[in-house]
Chain A
């Protein structure tokens, strides 16, 4: 979704992730998210940051109309192989080229954190979701949320979306007119993700800002206890308020 941080997904190690899912928890976590959302055939799903299309392929097995969106053509080419019938869009999560209220469910798996401005992305997702539509997010957060304010300025600007606490996320969801319906920690997701491809190059990357000593950042991150969550939220019924000029 943001080039500077999306570049990490082109490292060779990602080619060897067993189930092709470029996020902690893999397709199993996607399955869990969609089960919580009580999905059914004919629902229209938008996968923001679809990567290699593993989740699109899974959604297709459920009969859903899945649309994939990613920033890079290289990823979309791989999505085309995984989900040959899914419409694919090359776009930024901050500017979804879709009309208002046309999507039933948005999936964002480890892609929200690639954007520093969560509020802008959530606003844009809220615009394309129909009232009552669902948002499923799995991503990195700092379990010791009080450390987020220390970690954020040490990160390179494009990576500051990683420095977020549970409270900050819930506040941003509410501000974007979403109601939280489920939150769960995935305590082993990061460790298992790292272990799936030796050597452990498949991991969440923490990029230091200019002038910040990387191990000083690493220690601050470690003390903040990075974790992984899965949440579901429902878009409230108010008319979309952002990007009203984008209707197509």
Chain B
């Protein structure tokens, strides 16, 4: 995954949290699955903690990691 791809979901300065109506901020969060956690930077609401996972990430690398962890 290139830095450009990563920047595609991290650099969204105008995204607002739907509940709190405040700008999302880049935060370090732990993405965990099946006993393994990976600290990553994602956009997160500074008030309620809602984390924005872009569709291309959820259906791309994240799904690939999940599938690999599920395989015996």
Contact = CB atoms under 8 A, between A and B. Distances in A.
Given A214-B40, A215-B1, A222-B69, A203 B64 contact: no
Interface residues of B, number: 24
A101 interface: no
B37 interface: yes
Contacts of A74: none
A190 B37 CA distance: 11
A199 B68 contact: no
B6 A204 contact: no
Contacts of A194: 32-36
B30 to A, nearest CB: 6
B42 to A, nearest CB: 10
Nearest to A228: B35
Given A218-B61, A218-B65, A222-B68, A201 B35 contact: no
A40 B66 CA distance: 44
A215 B32 contact: no
B50 interface: no
13 contacts: A190-B35, A194-B33, A203-B32, A203-B35, A206-B37, A208-B39, A213-B1, A213-B6, A215-B1, A219-B65, A219-B68, A222-B36, A225-B71
Interface of B: 1, 3, 6, 30-41, 57, 61-62, 64-66, 68-69, 71
